Amino acid sequence: MPIDQLMELLNDPAFYLFLTYIVKDATGFMLEPVKKKIGEKILKKSSDAWDRFKIKIQKDPEAAKALEKFKAEPDNADLRKLLLEKFDEVLESDSELKGDIEKLGKDLTKQLDKILGSVKEVHGDVKVNQQLILALAKELGIDLQLNVGLQTVPEPTEEAKELAEQIPEDADSYSLALKAIANEDYEKAWELLDTAQEEQDIKQRDLYLARGRTKFYQGRYLEAYPWYEKALALCQDDIELLFETSVVFLYSGKYNIAEQVCMHMQKIVGDTQDDHPEDYATSLINLAFLYCDQGRYKEAEPLINQALEIEKKILGEEHPSYATSLNNLADLYCGQGRYKEAEPLYKQALEIKGNVLGEEHPSYATSLNNLAGLYCDQGRYKEAEPLQKKDLEVTKKVLGENHPDYATSLNNLADLYCNQGRYKEAEPLYKQALEIWKKVFGEEHPDYSTCLENYIGLLDKMGRPDEAEKMRAEAQTVLEKHRQRNTVEPK
């Protein structure tokens, strides 16, 4: 077998599982600098042993089916457990193969330790758990739900920050770049990605994706867009990449291309919807969001209803994802002014999240805000106010006073006061929200700009035109800077 084909074996989840079976810690084999130094002889021995193993495994129909399925679902713990049990059975039934495998395991361990030692000075502590890196990269993926909306920039999750804490400071450049993205240190992340590119220790697809996320999380959508386009060109049928790319294209205002991606994604997932119903439901939601954002509600509604039916069937009516889809449908109704139909859906979603997640969960706070927004749209301010205050209270307790979501809650309560003519109560809330967004994201962030426009409107209503004009000039400067940054081509 040619060396390039042997190297490609390392990307086969089943072969990698085989390596982890015979070597105590095989994660190092998956690192690019290690791959380049693996001897052809030792890799050929591994490949030959794997071929012998497969012949034995495939005689068992259950094992053969699991092996094939594992290639598409490498994170499936049940499949992994089953295959490892089958590996044990194979060795117990063939003493000669068992002896060869034990010897190979020792040879591989020696080879791996030797390679890791030789590349450590150049690449840092490359023996970072590869599963940790894969988990962090996945957690940094940009998701979308209708009840968030394009006006709010997603940010790295708390789960991503927790994973990032486990990465040591002497790790390789790519791992440190992911850590920097999770910690919202985007300038450092970009520099580390430059280093990773120079060292050529990362697949182009992963490099493009990390660069795109670095730009996206700063609200620089048009700068993020080309990087996702490059990544997608390398992996056109990667479902997770298609999901994320469709979201980024939406934020970038590339509706025609986003629709093409969504339709392609639906076609791929639709062919296997019986095996991956949750992925199919997500593809429906993404396409529905695209239609909603263009005011194409009639096309969006059946998609959301179909997603709801799928989630109801596979997850049940008490699952948080089902509650989120109820919110999505309620948002669609609100966009059409169908408030009576939206209200019971918001209430049902709120109840589910309260029961399942508890009343001190960020998602519960989001549902409070959604129902409060519905009441505000109808001028039902007395009913909206306690919900908006509860949202503020929960967000403050769970996320803290310096979190962007807390700033959003302050802005929303200020809007409610402003709509009632309670300008003196609204002003300090707008100011506090602006301070948080400025501190966390900077003045060029879309959320800061939105709140600034709200505050300017308040100053006008309070009869303070000089202050309003001064703030308006500041807003114009910020908008122009943001516009210039979002028209720059990537390096």
Residue 460, in any domain of the structure: yes
In a domain, 351, yes or no: no
> pLDDT tens across 125-144, in order?
444 456 677 778 888 877 65
How far apart are alpha carbons 109 and 468 in whole angstroms? Answer: 69
CATH number at residue 459: 1.25.40.10
CA distance 249 to 142: 12
- Please say which residue of 69, 99, 119 terminates a domain: 119
Domain termination residue (choose one: 82, 98, 119): 119
**Using CA atoms, how far apart are residues 325 and 328, in angstroms rounded to an integer?**
5
| Residue ranges making up the domain that contains 468 | 400-491
Residue 115 pLDDT: 55
Q: What is the pLDDT along the chain (491 residues), one digit of tens a residue?
A: 444 554 565 567 777 777 777 765 444 444 444 445 555 556 677 778 888 888 888 888 888 888 888 777 766 667 778 888 888 888 888 888 888 888 877 777 776 666 555 444 444 444 445 667 777 888 887 765 433 444 456 778 878 888 888 888 878 888 899 999 999 899 999 999 998 887 766 678 889 999 999 988 887 778 888 898 898 888 777 777 888 888 888 777 777 888 888 888 777 776 555 666 777 887 788 788 888 877 888 989 998 999 899 889 888 899 888 898 898 899 899 888 999 999 999 999 999 999 998 998 888 998 999 999 999 999 999 999 999 999 999 999 988 898 888 999 999 999 999 999 999 999 999 999 999 988 877 776 777 888 888 999 999 999 998 998 988 887 777 666 655 554 444 33
Nearest-angstrom CA–CA distance, 200 and 467: 53
In a domain, 144, yes or no: no
Q: For tokens 């006008």, what's the residue? A: 460
The DSSP code sequence of 97-143 is: HHHHHHHHHHHHHHHHHHHHHHHHHHHS---S-HHHHHHHHHHT---
For 111, how many CA atoms within 13 A lie in the half-sphere containing its CB?
22
Among the three residues 100, 119, 138, which one is the final residue of a domain in this structure? 119
In terms of C-beta density within 10 A (0-12 exposed, 13-18 middle, 19 or more buried), how is residue 491 classed? exposed
Contacts by 44-50 with C-beta closer than 8 Å and gap 24+? 44/1, 44/6, 45/104, 45/107, 46/9, 46/15, 46/18, 46/19, 46/104, 46/108, 47/1, 47/6, 47/9, 49/18, 49/22, 49/97, 49/100, 49/101, 49/104, 50/9, 50/15, 50/18
Look at residue 327 and tell me if it is in a domain. no
Q: Is residue 244 in a domain?
A: no
Is residue 163 within 8 Å of residue 129, measured between CB atoms?
no
Close Cβ partners of 116 (under 8 Å, ≥ 6 residues apart): 28, 34, 126, 127
pTM listed for this prediction: 0.59
**Is there a domain that residue 458 lies in?**
yes
Residue 295 domain-assigned?
no
How many distinct structural domains can be found in the chain? 2
* Domain assignment of residue 79, yes or no: yes
Q: How many CB atoms lie within 10 A of CB 347?
A: 15
